[in-house]
């Protein structure tokens, strides 16, 4: 409990320092722009993105067997979040001919590697959930008691 409080206190101090830097080094127009982006981001997330993801997830998971839904939802959340974060590098935004060190890797190939690792995790998760829910493992255990 003490560790969480200490971590929370550090977070509050760091956030306060960030706000102080923002206020002390920004003009009124910049502050207005920051507030607009922050409020707009929350509104777009809560009013548009989150409901769309929930409906799409519900529709996509509904036809799947119950033992598959959890691992698939988890894998979709991980891969979806990583993909959204990777959009700038996957699209090559920021690549410049005069600086070949910017975006100098095959990020699409890296994304495929991550996607395969997530898929492997989903498969393992499905197998674990199925083994726990199908009585094969529990039946043997309950017979010994």
Name every residue whose Cβ is closer than 8 Å to that of residue 55 and which is 6 or more positions away in sequence.
Answer: none
User: What is the number of residues in the chain?
Assistant: 145
Q: For residue 120, name the pLDDT band (cuts at 50, 70, 90).
A: very high
pLDDT at residue 50 greater than cutoff 50: yes
pLDDT at residue 135 greater than cutoff 90: no
Which of 110, 107, 81 is CA-nearest to residue 95? 107
Q: How many CA atoms lie within 13 A of 126 on its CB side?
A: 14
Beta carbons of 68 and 126 less than 8 angstroms apart:
yes
Name every residue whose Cβ is closer than 8 Å to that of residue 73 and which is 6 or more positions away in sequence.
Answer: 57, 61
Percentage of residues in the chain with pLDDT exceeding 90?
Answer: 69
pLDDT at residue 15 greater than cutoff 50: yes
pLDDT at residue 137 greater than cutoff 70: no
- Opening angle at CA 84, ends 83 and 88, nearest 5: 95
Beta carbons of 121 and 75 less than 8 angstroms apart:
yes
| Structure token pair of residue 15 | 């956030």
């Amino acid at each position: 409990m003490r560790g969480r409080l200490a971590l929370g206190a550090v977070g509050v101090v760091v956030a306060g320092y960030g706000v102080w830097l923002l206020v002390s080094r920004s003009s009124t127009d910049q502050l207005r722009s920051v507030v607009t982006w922050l409020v707009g981001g929350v509104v777009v997330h809560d009013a548009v993105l989150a409901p769309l993801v929930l409906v799409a997830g519900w529709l996509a998971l509904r036809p799947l067997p119950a033992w598959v839904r959890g691992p698939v939802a988890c894998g979709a959340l991980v891969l979806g979040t990583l993909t959204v974060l990777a959009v700038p590098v996957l699209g090559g935004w920021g690549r410049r001919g005069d600086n070949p060190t910017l975006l100098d890797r095959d990020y699409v190939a890296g994304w495929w590697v991550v996607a395969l690792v997530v898929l492997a995790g989903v498969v393992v998760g499905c197998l674990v959930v199925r083994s726990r829910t199908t009585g094969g493992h529990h039946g043997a255990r309950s017979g010994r008691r």
